[in-house]
Structure 1
């Protein structure tokens, strides 16, 4: 049986992001992704928020280790300072959900001085540690930003693949803003986004 390795690549954290994005896409059949529904909360949204936040923690640690081999970064404040300083475009990265006309800027607080945690990260921690009193924070607005934030960080975890247009497949919901889009690469029959990560 012959199996060949494809030219496009799909590393583990990219695949995990895409799996969470697919769960989010399925949820759109029941909750319209619109501002009127941003405060909608549910068990499914809580699950997505917790999964995205946990994966952000894993990915951010890896990025910090790439920036500084002996990095001891282990919380959002450390990630903000190390990643925000070394990769300032993370804080500027904007993305959209074109199908729903929504634009997100999940790491905006990493562009300010001093760098602060995003509001949705605080909600993630509240839901994680005190769900009994903060369950309403497991809402659509926080989940969209958390998944968008994960998307951005995974791109910076795999910068060469992202910039060369070799992360396969493309996300189904999220797209980079124009200044972070650098065209399309064609691999076999697949058109893949080439990202500009130094904007």
Structure 2
């Protein structure tokens, strides 16, 4: 179930209107690998509108997340804002998947897009959609061919990602630790995103990331409240385990009879043996139960700071 987010958001309705127009376009043009070079005045117009929204939302995201206004000169949406946001959130690696039933892409680089890759660069090094936007904005007739479906989808995908980061919605998952209940389209009718499933935590409670983490726009984790309570119960139990180990007569005897100054093994295991070692663990767990049954989960926007 999605939590309510009471934030005035002017960007999302505009994005949805752009999506609606692209969806309507896909009823007239077959969106497949061969058709991505199809261009028109209408496609150029949509590309420009998407890019204008990107300029505006990137500046708002920049200022809302710690970016400073330049002492002199203008604030640029790409070399200032998108660069800052990419360094903060690794946006250039974030993946969107064209998932409309009207999309029929076959090659891998068309079925999975990273539309913000190189988006903060200028000139020939920049993202294709951004180069096309600058071209059709300044020389519409001469550059009309650059106002094509491929560049439009790149700009729309980039705008979708920025909107998700602007909204920062949190999806409540209850006991669904795998995140199966989250809708991967996140409100889009054209795109889906990667959701990093929870793979576990290390002994210190640090979130374990798979290779897909940096590509994912959302990730599943404990809620802050239940995760904090669970980690506290783990710490309390582990502290009690150590206390029980180091007051145990067999451990004290082992220490007195052996040089343990540079001991690198499991001292308690060696001193107690498996059966007694397990019995001590079970006693600690009875005294300080681990509160795993209280854990609840949520999907959050990937801010790369887990």
Same fold (TM over 0.5): yes
Kindly indicate whether residue 172 of structure 2 is the aligned counterpart of residue 171 of structure 1. Answer: no
Cα distance change, pair 12–41 in 1 and its aligned pair in 2 (3 A) = same
Give the corresponding residue for 1:129: 138
**TM-score if structure 2 supplies the norm length?**
0.52
Identify the residue that residue 93 of structure 1 maps to in structure 2. Answer: 94
- Structure 2 unmatched runs, 5+: 106-110, 173-184, 197-215, 221-297
**Greater share of helix:** 1
Task: Look up the match of 1:14.
Answer: 12
Contact persistence 1:110–1:117 (CA under 8 A): yes
Distance 1:110 1:55, change over 3 A: closer
Gaps of 5+ in 1: 1-5, 184-192
- Count of paired positions: 177
Question: Residue 129 of structure 2 is aligned with which of 117, 120, 130?
Answer: 120
Q: Normalising to structure 1: TM-score of the pair?
A: 0.78
10, 30, 33: which one pairs with 1:32? Answer: 30
Following TM superposition, by how much is the alpha carbon of 1:164 offset from its aligned partner in structure 2, in angstroms? 3.4
Alignment partner of 1:58 is 2:67: no
Segments ≥4 residues shifted beyond 3 Å: 6-10, 193-196
Q: Per chain length, whose mean CA-contact separation is higher, i.e. which structure has more relative contact order (CA < 8 Å, sep 6+)?
A: 1
By how many angstroms is 1:8 displaced? 5.9
1:187 corresponds to: none
**Mapped pair 1:197 → 2:302:** yes
Alignment RMSD, CA only? Answer: 2.7
Closer/same/farther in 2, CA of residues 195 and 11 from structure 1, 3 Å limit: same
